[in-house]
Amino acid sequence: MTFEEYDRYCDAMERERPEDEGWGRGSRPVINVSWEDARAFVAWLNSETGDDAEGPYRLPSEAEWEYACRGDQSGKNATSFSPSVGASSSPTGAFLTSEEANFDGNFTYNGSPRGEYRQKTVAVDHEDFPTNAFGLRQMHGNVQEWCEDHFEDDYGRVPSFGSAYETDDGSLRVLRGGSWINSPRDLRSAFRSWGQPALGDSSIGFRLCRTLTS
């Protein structure tokens, strides 16, 4: 989600706009938003489109997010990054470069070269970065993205059929994808992170999915 989209919500609900760190708003990804902020935006968006607060727009589950990031790549041949994203440097998806994603290029991973460290976000439609097999852009890097799930240390306990993991004794919420400030290791499709649901920072944003009804 971009600042342009989120600012429209803030203005409509008379909420304070989140800080952009002086990097610009518009088509840059909204940052400094908590999981609770993202959920409130979802409820507003669904009300604006004539739906109830629970659908059809929502945060993706962790399992959905990883499936979308991999671009339908799964099984024993799965690699660290979506192969179509790393096609120009590593067709197998073994690594990616800072020409293909926004991260701290001072660090390397799995044979990748050193590259640029932009030290801020870039626009969500940054055309220099390729899309994956699903046509999705920047699943790796730029901002970490909130998922619906409570964080569970044992990923094997997360539902295998794609729904979000919810527990009565959980507090942390899942973050995926890595960001502009992270090393490439933290951008891997399988890398998992977490955050306090009431807190956000300059490396955290979100994207939405939509439940199809027909």
| pLDDT, tens digit, 9 for 90 and up, residues 86-133 | 666 665 578 899 999 999 999 999 999 999 999 999 999 998 898 888
Read off the pLDDT of residues 138-197 as tens digits, 9 standing for 90 and up: 999 999 999 999 999 888 888 878 899 999 888 999 999 999 999 999 999 999 999 999
Reported confidence tier of residue 198, pLDDT bands at 50, 70, 90: very high
pLDDT at position 35 is 98
Residue 12 has φ and ψ, to the nearest 5°, of: -65, -35
* DSSP secondary structure string for all residues of 29-92: BP-S--HHHHHHHHHHHHHHTT--TTSSEEPPPHHHHHHHHHTS--GGG--SS-TTTTTTT-TT
Asked if omega into 130 is within 30° of 0 (cis), the reply is no
DSSP string, 135-170: S-B-SSSSSEEEEEEEP-S-GGGS-TTSPPP--TT-
What does the pLDDT read at residue 49? 86
Q: Give the pLDDT of residue 55.
A: 65
pTM (2 d.p.): 0.92
pLDDT at 88: 63
| pLDDT tens profile 17-76 | 999 999 999 999 999 999 999 999 999 999 998 766 556 899 999 999 999 998 866 655
pLDDT at 52: 61
